[in-house]
Structure 1
Amino acid sequence: MDIGRETLLQIVISAVAVVLFISSAVTVSQTYLVDSNLSPTGGYALVGAIGLFVVFMTAAGLWLERQQF
């Protein structure tokens, strides 16, 4: 089975984005944990991590769409 260059690049970019998102979510939850609860600041940080993930995936999708393979 032959995987094209474009498909491989999409897989790698998506995998990297997911790993970065999970690691940032774990980091935020560990940093802002207070008495087994997430502090309000941690909630904002988690929302920011989700927002950055969405922005990164959008930018990556636009970049991939404009590439000539």
Structure 2
Amino acid sequence: MKTTDLRQKDVAGLKTEVKELQKAHFGLRMQKATQQLTNTGTLRVTRRDIARAKTILAQKQAEERAKTPAAK
């Protein structure tokens, strides 16, 4: 997943993307546990994709908080 693709999504889209990536990573971990996974490098890729999506999500949430005025 490219960062440009992730940056085009809104906060809700990023949250669903993180959930989908986490499900995919869980499936890969189960395949590894049952020794059905031949390419273990995909675990690393999905783990990094999750981190990338979470980072962009946190940045977008911080931007939204900065835009809204603080209530007194």
Q: TM-score, normalised by structure 1?
A: 0.51
- Within-5 A mapping of 1:19-58: 19-21=16-18, 22=20, 26=24, 36-37=36-37, 39-58=39-58
Over residues 4-27 of structure 1, what are the superposed CA-to-partner deviations in whole Å (9 max), with x where a residue is unaligned?
Answer: xxxxxxxx61x201232316964x
After TM superposition, what 4+ stretches of structure 1 lie above 2 angstroms from structure 2? 18-21, 23-26
Q: TM-score, normalised by structure 2?
A: 0.49
Q: CA RMSD in A?
A: 3.3
Classify the secondary structure of the residue corresponding to 1:36: coil
With a CA cutoff of 8 Å and minimum separation of 6, indicate the structure with the bigger relative contact order: 2
How many pairs does the alignment contain?
Answer: 54
Classify the secondary structure of the residue corresponding to 1:19: helix
Identity %: 4
Classify the secondary structure of the residue corresponding to 1:62: helix
Q: Which runs of 5+ in 1 are unaligned?
A: 1-11
Q: Which runs of 5+ in 2 are unaligned?
A: 1-9
